[in-house]
A and B are shown apart, each in its own frame.
Chain A
Amino acid sequence: MSFDLNLVLESLPQMLAGFGITLKLLLVSGSLGLVLAIVLLLMRMSGKFYLDWLAQIYIYVFRGTPILVQIFIIYYGLPQFEAVRDSVFWSILREPTGCAILALTLNTGAYVSEILRGGVLGVDKGLLEAGSALGMSARHKLIYITTPLATRLALPAYSNDVISLLKSTALASTITIADMTGIARTIVADTYAPYEVFISLAIVYMIFTLAIQKLFGLFERYLSRHTRRED
């Protein structure tokens, strides 16, 4: 078997046409997932046991099931209910992209909330005591002490989750979405050249991952500026 370089050169631009959809899946579900994660985190830290439990059950369910199964349940399962078809959400859920974004959001939200919680737990209690002693309210301490420090602590694990989310977006191709992986599968079905096509695809994802890593590296450096002894 020989490696067909021409096929790589031909299929790369085609796959890159799906880059926009991959990027959209990543950015939309990534940001909505972050909002969800913060809500779940606040529920867990609320001190109200019913909110805490609700969040814990949610996190358990979404971390405890494969994301592919979650995508299938949302895409194939939900439309069976008339209530869903009649609801305002139907305009989102009738589209595979809407379903994929919903599934990715719900899934990443569960993971990220635990990552953020790790950051919050890592903040030195003495600093919060200092805040209290200065008369700062719980809200002030959350905004000015806990959030900036927890963000810095959670960042490495969070960047890991964003990269993982990028790769989960490939699962969207299972529900007819023409993201980069979806297009690659179509090309493979036409050309019977899985080797060339999927290796090219893998390299595109790696370059994308590198960009995400660098971006988080810069952000981490910015947030760590106070930990360097010299200016």
Chain B
Amino acid sequence: MSDNPTRPLIEMAAVSKFFGDFQALRNIDLVVHKGERIVVCGPSGSGKSTLIRCINRLEKHNEGIITIDGIELTDKVADIDAVRREVGMVFQSFNLFPHMSIIKNLMIAQQLVRKTPKKEAREIAMHYLQRVKIPEQAEKYPIQLSGGQQQRVAIARALCMKPKIILFDEPTSALDPEMINEVLDVMVDLADEGMTMICVTHEMGFARSVADRIIFMDEGEIIEQASPADFFDNPENERTSAFLDQILKH
């Protein structure tokens, strides 16, 4: 894979996705360049999660073309693996491996997928645990950590694979309010360092201060894409305004 600075990292062209008769994505066109920070928002069931899950092929799209860093996503397992090596993901429910210690959670994929030697994998893991500010938890099991700590470990686990893109699927939605900020702080740090990010989130404060672009989805379609300033202050579409009225009411 050569790094072509002008080539987008993510290109989705006329992508559609069906679950049986239900169309979850309609004709999605999306281009994301290196270093861009995208926030995806929209009402529940609008296809936000499905959109990002198609990018690392946790969901298979039915129509259209998705190209990640020059690799088109098809049924070819080698291509899917190559894409997944470049794309990290953080889930709403953390999904840490419960039977492995924190450090093991961070090492396992490095060793199996990247073939990193154990000692080096451990060093990388400790490096990223320090970055999310919980190196002292390395030997514990996930259940012994708070939700906010677990989600920071999950972010560190994704970073250990040195991804070019990180997808966040409602990373703070399962957290108690007092733990949301510690996770958002880590995400802001990542954004400041130039990580390419796509975040599905309802944290509008984060969206306003961090996003380069906000995408609003409804019923499987991208309704609006705009800079945070335009998105919050001059939404073009009335569905966007209605959504913003709903979530910013209180």
Contact = CB atoms under 8 A, between A and B. Distances in A.
A130 B95 contact: yes
Contacts, number: 72
A149 B98 contact: yes
Contacts of B87: 133
**Residue of A129, A133, A137 contacting most chain B CB atoms (<10 Å):** A133
B144 interface: yes
Interface stretch (B14-22, B64-72, B105-113, B208-216): B105-113
A176 interface: no
A203 interface: no
B84 A135 contact: yes
Interface in B132-185: 141-144, 154, 157-158, 161
Contact of B99 (A140, A148, A228, A229): A148
Contacts of B95: 124, 126-127, 129-130
B161 A134 contact: yes
Given A152-B99, A226-B99, A226-B143, A132 B84 contact: yes
Interface string B68-84: 00000000000001001
A127 B158 CA distance: 14
Interface residues of B, number: 28
B91 A129 contact: yes
Interface string A114-154: 00000000001011011111111100100011001100100
Interface of B: 56, 58, 81, 84-85, 87-89, 91, 93, 95-100, 108-109, 112-113, 141-144, 154, 157-158, 161
20 contacts: A124-B95, A127-B97, A127-B98, A129-B95, A130-B89, A130-B96, A131-B97, A133-B158, A135-B85, A136-B113, A140-B112, A148-B99, A149-B98, A149-B99, A152-B99, A226-B100, A226-B143, A227-B143, A229-B143, A230-B144
